[in-house]
Amino acid sequence: MSELAELQQRIAPLFPGLMGLKLREVAQGRVLAELPVRPDLCTTGGILHGGAVMAFADTLGAIGTFMNLPAGKRTTTTDSSTKFIAAAKVGTVVSGESVALHRGRTTMVWQTSIRNAEGKLCAVVTQTQLVLDGA
């Protein structure tokens, strides 16, 4: 099984899997994924909920960090900042690209761009991931 398939299987029973997140590419410095904009992920008016946008982005940054963790380490988000720019409509698919801005020994910083079906930037999310000793 490929690394991508293993990660997809790992998140399937978790919140990102329930949201419908589909990983497209994973690498040490970049993660690509898609999310279908379903009615249950929307606000009134059929627009993707901001919390869904943030959860999508948070997952991509966490996966990126996971791809860079040394053996015996785990991660958690300590900070996240979201700038909303445009909407994504129900029945479409948004894409997310998360890139590493910093991959350090104790923290990692990822920036995720979320784009709607037309390719327009919907949100930019910058998050800090703490690197912790494994449980």
Q: Which helix (H) or strand (E) holds 10?
A: helix 3-11
Q: What is the mean pLDDT of residues 6-34?
A: 97
- Residue 41 near residue 79 (C-beta atoms within 8 A): no
d(CA 124, CA 97): 10
pTM over cut 0.85: yes
Query: Whole-angstrom Cα distance, residue 112 to residue 8?
Result: 19
How confident is the model over 42-56, as pLDDT tens digits? 999 999 999 999 999
Whole-number Å distance between alpha carbons of 90 and 34: 14
